[in-house]
């Protein structure tokens, strides 16, 4: 799918939880779950754009869910509806959703929930039965917006909601035919290994620092059994069996 580069109108940019914001912008092309955009504030002192996954999309708009980490995301959080933001995308591959009718587990950790909400909703539309596991350090966010047909399991390491501990402690891969995950590498490594042991297909969405976002600079490479691959162009979604994840 070709990508577009444009100055997009911000429709909404609001805080949804501590350090977590949702930004909705005008965008009229199709996107697939797992794809991402490179975003930059026009007069930003940060030279590079920042990658953000598609959190929600319809025919007229796309939304991003982002955590304020450093300068780039902080600048995003200060932007207002009506302002324009530079966006380039959709970029990267996507989760393969061609497993119709299968029982799928979607597993996220922290802000890794962003692409997984869109994924879970699309899987449901494509006749999958979906269980959504989302782990958080503290207070959960965005767990109540999923379709009621999706069963949601929550964990919090601080014990403020759901299971007190890690999300991997309440996940049993044997109950599923298909697993998809996004979050911190140590969590995804556990999920991928659990699936490998039971021979269950597992798709992993990787995160790396990025510069160009389109395969040219090699800043974002990750290790796989078939050599180094670019997260922005060959990924961000990889086969869990193929990835070599270092904590
Ligand atoms: C394909 C992809 C999709 C992403 N989707 C989302 C999303 O939907 N929502 C979201 O909140 N974030 C997402 N991220 C991460 C997001 O791009 C970074 O948090 C953001 O670039 C940080 O920029 P900053 O200027 O705020 O922080 P910086 O000042 O650049 O960095 C702040 C801190 O974050 C670390 N950091 C910066 N970039 C990354 C990175 N790519 N991975 C890990 N640590 C990083 C830095 O080491 C530093 O400690 C995604 C990253 C990738 C590669
Ligand atoms: S960010 Fe440049 S090759 Fe991936």
Same domain, 11 and 85: yes
Tell me, yes or no, whether 237 lies in a domain: no
Same domain, 134 and 195: yes
Same domain, 120 and 56: no
Q: What is the dihedral angle through the alpha carbons of 163, 167, 170, 176, rounded to the nearest 10 degrees?
A: 140
Q: What's residue 67's pLDDT?
A: 98
Q: End of a domain among 67, 91, 115?
A: 91
Find the ligand nearest to 94 CA. Answer: 1
Same domain, 67 and 111: no
Q: Is residue 51 lining ligand 1, measured as CB closer than 6 Å?
A: yes
Q: What's residue 140's pLDDT?
A: 96
**pLDDT tens per residue across span 186-236:** 999 999 999 999 999 999 999 999 999 999 999 999 999 999 999 999 999
> Which CATH number characterizes residue 72's domain?
2.40.30.10
Same domain, 78 and 113: no
Tell me the average pLDDT of the chain: 94
Atom of ligand 1 nearest to the CA of 50: 21
List the one residue out of 200, 209, 205, 164 whose CA is nearest residue 183.
Answer: 205
Same domain, 113 and 57: no
User: Rounded to an integer, what distance in angstroms lies between the CA atom of residue 230 and that of residue 133?
Assistant: 27
Same domain, 148 and 70: no
pLDDT band at 3 (very low <50, low <70, confident <90, very high): confident
Atom of ligand 2 nearest to the CA of 218: 3
- Report how many domains make up the chain: 2
Lining residues, ligand 2, CB within 6 Å: 210-213, 215-220, 230, 232
Tell me, yes or no, whether 238 lies in a domain: no
* pTM beyond 0.85, yes or no: yes
List the one residue out of 110, 121, 112, 50 whose CA is nearest residue 79.
Answer: 50
Same domain, 129 and 78: no
Taking 70 as the threshold, does the pLDDT of residue 100 lie above it? no
> Which CATH number characterizes residue 197's domain?
3.40.50.80
Q: How far is the CA of 206 from the centre of ligand 1 (A)?
A: 12
Q: How far is the CA of 191 from the centre of ligand 1 (A)?
A: 22
Tell me, yes or no, whether 239 lies in a domain: no
Q: End of a domain among 91, 123, 152?
A: 91
Tell me, yes or no, whether 44 lies in a domain: yes
Same domain, 31 and 124: no
* Residue from 3, 88, 92, 212 to probe ligand 2 pocket by mutation (most atoms less than 8 Å from CB): 212
Taking 80 as the threshold, does the pLDDT of residue 1 lie above it? no
Handedness of CA 231, 234, 236, 242 (dihedral sign): negative
Domain that holds residue 62: 4-91
Same domain, 112 and 83: no
Tell me, yes or no, whether 47 lies in a domain: yes
pLDDT band at 246 (very low <50, low <70, confident <90, very high): confident
Share of the chain above pLDDT 70, in %: 98
Handedness of CA 169, 173, 179, 185 (dihedral sign): positive
Tell me, yes or no, whether 214 lies in a domain: no
Tell me, yes or no, whether 229 lies in a domain: no
* Residue from 36, 52, 207, 214 to probe ligand 2 pocket by mutation (most atoms less than 8 Å from CB): 214
pLDDT band at 101 (very low <50, low <70, confident <90, very high): low
Q: What's residue 2's pLDDT?
A: 80
Share of the chain above pLDDT 90, in %: 88
Residue scoring higher pLDDT (244 or 101) = 244
**pLDDT tens per residue across span 147-194:** 999 999 999 999 999 999 999 999 999 999 999 999 999 999 999 999
Residue 164 neighbours by CB distance under 10 Å:
12
Q: What's residue 43's pLDDT?
A: 82
Q: What's residue 99's pLDDT?
A: 64
Tell me, yes or no, whether 182 lies in a domain: yes
Q: How far is the CA of 73 from the centre of ligand 1 (A)?
A: 8
Q: End of a domain among 31, 56, 91?
A: 91
Same domain, 109 and 190: yes
User: Rounded to an integer, what distance in angstroms lies between the CA atom of residue 62 and that of residue 27?
Assistant: 6
Same domain, 25 and 87: yes
Q: Is residue 34 lining ligand 1, measured as CB closer than 6 Å?
A: no
């Amino acid at each position: 799918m070709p990508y577009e580069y444009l100055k997009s109108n911000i429709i909404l940019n609001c805080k949804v939880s501590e350090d977590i914001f949702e930004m909705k912008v005008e965008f009229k092309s199709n996107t697939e779950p797992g794809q991402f955009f490179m975003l930059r504030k026009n007069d930003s002192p940060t030279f590079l754009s920042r990658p953000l996954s598609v959190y929600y999309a319809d025919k007229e708009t796309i939304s991003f869910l982002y955590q304020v980490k450093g300068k780039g995301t902080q600048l995003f959080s200060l932007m207002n509806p009506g302002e324009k933001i530079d966006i380039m995308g959709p970029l990267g591959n996507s989760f393969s959703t061609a497993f119709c009718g299968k029982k799928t587990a979607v597993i996220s950790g922290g802000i890794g929930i962003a692409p997984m909400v869109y994924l879970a909703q699309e899987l449901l539309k494509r006749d999958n039965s979906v269980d959504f596991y989302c782990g958080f350090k503290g207070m959960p966010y965005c767990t109540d917006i999923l379709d009621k047909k999706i069963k949601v399991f929550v964990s919090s390491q601080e014990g403020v909601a759901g299971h007190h501990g890690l999300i991997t402690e309440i996940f049993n891969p044997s109950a599923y035919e298909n697993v998809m995950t996004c979050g911190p590498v140590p969590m995804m490594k556990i999920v991928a290994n659990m699936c490998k042991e039971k021979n269950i297909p597992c798709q992993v969405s990787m995160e790396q620092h990025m510069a160009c976002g389109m395969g040219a600079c090699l800043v974002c490479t990750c290790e796989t059994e078939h050599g180094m691959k670019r997260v922005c162009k060959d990924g961000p979604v990889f086969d869990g069996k193929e990835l070599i994840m270092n904590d």
